[in-house]
Structure 1
């Protein structure tokens, strides 16, 4: 069950968003409960009863008394995990909201185009699995979807993300294979597993990832890599 809060002082607009969210969720067979609040004070009262009442909050920036940015600041002191999606007709206010770990912004003038993407991305995020790996610098907590690939180098497993390469204390690559084969990763050669979702293109005996990096593919693994790539492409 996904718990969603909508906070907007425009009742008509809030009801419209609620109906659209219900339509999208029903189409994807996702069970959810949607709660509506006409003021920031009403939304904050929900936090008086529970530590984390919502997985996702759609929050209007321009509201009387407490605006969306003020509400977000109070929420973040109580809850670091809820995904905040700001609704705004004042695009110049967007930059002020970055410090609240904002997940998405939706322009009210583009609601029909941007609402669906924001909801689908947020659902993917909250259902994403967080894994903990031991490194020489302590425990690394990372979402599976943030991992580009695993690589076995000099008897250590490395984790590559878009920004960093981490050296873990894992000594057996089979431990990675056993755990992540069912989580959207595919072996491209002995000692390297790639997140299928980040394969951008396939060459003769290599692949190119979304970050532009090229990796070799074993001749014996190529057919399976191609099948997985086509399957993901069709799904997307």
Structure 2
């Protein structure tokens, strides 16, 4: 599933963008979902609760109104993982786009072929490629780590918990743990491996995930979990800068 958000304070304009997106995505035969926001706080609240909720966010920037640019900075400050695409009828905010790390800058009227190429490339790079094959019984199964909230081992079965669904694999946590390490999954308990993108609250003995589930924290893993979660939240650029400052 390809999760898309459109922010546009103008209802008529947002409907036009949505229509174009729906038409193109239907042609590409992607499974997708589009949510539209007219008020900044509504989108901020969704991202605050789950920074990984969307794959891509389109933000419309009207002439002489930099509020949407500030919105993008607020979303980045919440560690939103979605790519940002700016849309505007003027080219005045191109450098702001660079500043916020926007994936692209589209000038109205939106070039249909350019948008189609953008969507196809983004989907291929960030949705299809981020899949792994993990051993299950005598074979393997394909999983998408970005959408997994946590893994829980129950006897010789691994429960794969998504935001609104789950599946069960005949495997053990120790046999599949290494496949999730590149995606920064954290072990908070001997029976759990969690995706830090979906952490909503950390308490002394448990975690509350964005889907409402509660996951236990082992007292022996609490300190390590906190340290690794801080590392996860630190922007990659900052980690690089710290490394350089320590090794002049």
Q: TM-score, normalised by structure 2?
A: 0.48
Q: Which has the higher contact order (CA 8 A, sep 6+)?
A: 2
Q: TM-score, normalising length from structure 1?
A: 0.50
Structure number with larger C-alpha Rg = 1
